[in-house]
Chain A
């Protein structure tokens, strides 16, 4: 099965052609961003010399630097809270075999059933009454609430298969339950924590809808929201718009190329639970 025959070679060529088709939109993205903004240069044409001026203009005009920092703050705090709340809750829910703990677990699972559009309006008006529209706090809270069912489900499924021997040994040695969790259980959860950090982190960084509702026009705009505002202003100037698009995704691309195996494995495994 694993020999490299002429049929494998044909397959390889077909796949490489498919990859060229897949990557071509991104080549267009780059070539348009590096254009002068004038002239017909064909469908994949780069204009020479490459014009990096669009990037400088887009960077200052879109205030993307501040937005990237806001995105990072929102993503990191959301993911940290998701991991903290979900791992502790799942530990208790997986280890207790009382009726209430099972009920609470299913209550969390019910969260999978709600797409969010129904809660959107009551939630928005509630945050508005608290004066939190325009504040990253609202976005972080919604991210955390939205990801808890998924994270608790992954942690609890993993914990149920995890032997309790280490915890029992720690308890016998006199460790408090809190200490046992911090020193013994949480480190054992690392594979799940990794999956959650990747899936939730990427989804939150890329999220557009919640920032659109809560951060439009505020000075806490995230990168995707700034892209949207920038396109509303400069919609016809594609070289400038594409420069802003590229700047906004540079952090993801760096993370992707540095941790690609880890990220792909996270996506492939996160859903098997």
Chain B
């Protein structure tokens, strides 16, 4: 049977042969029979929707393909030279990294503080958890439009600053090219902090009370207990949270598109918005594909790191 095993179709035929129940053998490789064809529909969909288009995209990023598929020729890495020599794309890459770093730091810091606060005997903790998590379920494009209003020149934030005597601090939050990226970060952090919080809360549940009590008896204050005992013990939740924020923010499209569409004049463009525009507004297919390859490499490297890390943690525990 070994020679047919690499061929799912043949293996399937062998599996489906009408059979007496196989004598149960010990060992992990002899459980009840599972139908091989079970895996076929998933493979077909996955190959058509994920694998093949990515391979195609990678292939055509080395060509001058116009999207019609009939006429193209290899241009080597010219498209990549175009992409990495284009100041707009470089700015988008820079913005993407800036947003990713700012959001990752603040979303996780706020999420951690909220989780530490709620992981106490505070009476309203269930209601508060509900409130902090609420933005997470909100549609990102809706949150984006809401924040577009809040941060508009006559919007809520400026009205608030004016009414408490901080009129000098009023800004055109989304119109100022130096500020716009940070304004977008605020909206993303508001939406995501609750997500980080619940993952930290799940991690905090694994911190044994008796260890903390022992430390308290030994005279460690609550700050010291948090830094020296709690944080090392929720290391896993920290890693998961950081990597999750990194990957989701690198791919961020909806909030930016709703708030600024990448403006003013490209100041808040990210990789995801620039790939979309290059492809569907400017119809520069080879350039869009090369940008897609660059984004895929950035996300792929981080996602691979995440996978290896979680795998290694799995081996340890």
Q: Cα distance A174–B6 when bound, in Å?
A: 28
**Shortest beta-carbon distance, B254 to chain A, in Å?**
5
Check A122 against B120 for contact (C-beta < 8 Å): no
Q: A interface vs B, CB < 8 Å?
A: 1-4, 8, 11-12, 14-16, 18-19, 22-23, 25-26, 28-29, 32, 42-44, 85-86, 88-89, 91-93, 95-101, 104, 107-109, 111-126, 141-142, 144-146, 148-149, 152, 164, 167-168, 170-172, 174, 177-178, 180-181, 202, 205-206, 208-209, 213, 223-224, 227-228, 231, 238, 241-242, 245, 248-249, 252-253, 255-256, 260, 263-264, 267-269, 271-273
- Give the residues in chain A near B303, CB-CB below 8 Å: 112-113
**With A180-B32, A249-B138: A114-B254 Cβ-Cβ less than 8 Å:** no
Check B124 against A12 for contact (C-beta < 8 Å): yes
Knowing that A121-B288, A167-B31 touch, tell me 18 more A-B residue pairs with CB under 8 angstroms: A8-B122, A11-B117, A14-B117, A15-B128, A88-B42, A95-B32, A112-B307, A114-B300, A117-B251, A117-B275, A121-B289, A149-B50, A177-B34, A208-B139, A209-B253, A223-B139, A224-B139, A271-B244
Check B69 against A125 for contact (C-beta < 8 Å): yes
**With A8-B120, A125-B69, A227-B142: A118-B296 Cβ-Cβ less than 8 Å:** yes
Q: Cα distance A178–B163 when bound, in Å?
A: 67
Check B296 against A15 for contact (C-beta < 8 Å): no
State which residues 187-203 of B face A: CB under 8 Å. Answer: 190, 193, 195, 198-199, 201-202
B31 contact from A149, A164, A223, A268, Cβ within 8 A? A164
Q: Cα distance A213–B276 when bound, in Å?
A: 9
User: In this assembly, does B5 line the interface, its C-beta being within 8 Å of a C-beta of chain A?
Assistant: yes
**Shortest beta-carbon distance, B81 to chain A, in Å?**
18
User: In this assembly, does B48 line the interface, its C-beta being within 8 Å of a C-beta of chain A?
Assistant: yes
**Shortest beta-carbon distance, A272 to chain B, in Å?**
7
Check B202 against A268 for contact (C-beta < 8 Å): yes
Check A97 against B28 for contact (C-beta < 8 Å): yes
Q: Cα distance A14–B110 when bound, in Å?
A: 13
User: In this assembly, does B262 line the interface, its C-beta being within 8 Å of a C-beta of chain A?
Assistant: no
Q: Provide 26 A-B residue pairs closer than 8 Å at the C-beta atoms, listed in order of the A residue.
A: A4-B121, A23-B131, A25-B150, A25-B156, A26-B146, A28-B156, A88-B41, A89-B39, A89-B41, A93-B39, A100-B8, A104-B39, A107-B51, A118-B292, A119-B292, A125-B69, A149-B50, A164-B31, A167-B32, A172-B24, A205-B139, A206-B138, A209-B253, A231-B258, A245-B146, A269-B202
Check A111 against B202 for contact (C-beta < 8 Å): no
Which chain B residue has the least Cβ–Cβ distance from A173? Answer: B21
- Give the residues in chain A near B142, CB-CB below 8 Å: 224, 227, 245, 248-249
- Give the residues in chain A near B272, CB-CB below 8 Å: 115, 117
Q: Cα distance A18–B198 when bound, in Å?
A: 16
Q: Cα distance A100–B6 when bound, in Å?
A: 6
**With A32-B149, A120-B292, A248-B139: A208-B45 Cβ-Cβ less than 8 Å:** no
State which of B55-63, B72-80, B82-90, B100-108 sits at the interface with chain A: B55-63
For B27-56 the 0/1 string (1 means CB < 8 A from A) is 011011111101101110110111111101
Q: Cα distance A182–B35 when bound, in Å?
A: 12
Check A123 against B250 for contact (C-beta < 8 Å): no
Q: B interface vs A, CB < 8 Å?
A: 5-6, 8, 11, 21, 24, 28-29, 31-36, 38-39, 41-43, 45-46, 48-54, 56-58, 60-61, 67, 69, 114, 117-118, 120-124, 128-142, 145-147, 149-150, 156, 159-160, 163, 190, 193, 195, 198-199, 201-202, 209, 212-213, 216, 240, 244, 250-251, 253-254, 257-258, 271-272, 275-276, 279-280, 285, 288-289, 291-293, 295-296, 299-300, 303-304, 306-307, 310
B131 contact from A12, A22, A89, Cβ within 8 A? A22
Check B129 against A264 for contact (C-beta < 8 Å): yes
Q: Cα distance A121–B49 when bound, in Å?
A: 12
Check B67 against A125 for contact (C-beta < 8 Å): yes
- Give the residues in chain A near B137, CB-CB below 8 Å: 202, 206, 252-253, 255-256, 263
**With A108-B46, A119-B53, A249-B139: A42-B296 Cβ-Cβ less than 8 Å:** no
Check B49 against A146 for contact (C-beta < 8 Å): yes
Check A120 against B275 for contact (C-beta < 8 Å): yes
**Shortest beta-carbon distance, B94 to chain A, in Å?**
17
Check B49 against A172 for contact (C-beta < 8 Å): no
Q: Cα distance A93–B8 when bound, in Å?
A: 12
Q: Cα distance A267–B262 when bound, in Å?
A: 30
- Give the residues in chain B near A44, CB-CB below 8 Å: 156
Check A118 against B163 for contact (C-beta < 8 Å): no
Q: Cα distance A43–B118 when bound, in Å?
A: 29
**With A208-B139, A208-B140, A213-B280: A121-B57 Cβ-Cβ less than 8 Å:** yes
**With A108-B46, A122-B60: A114-B54 Cβ-Cβ less than 8 Å:** yes
**With A119-B54, A121-B289: A241-B124 Cβ-Cβ less than 8 Å:** no
- Give the residues in chain B near A95, CB-CB below 8 Å: 31-32, 34
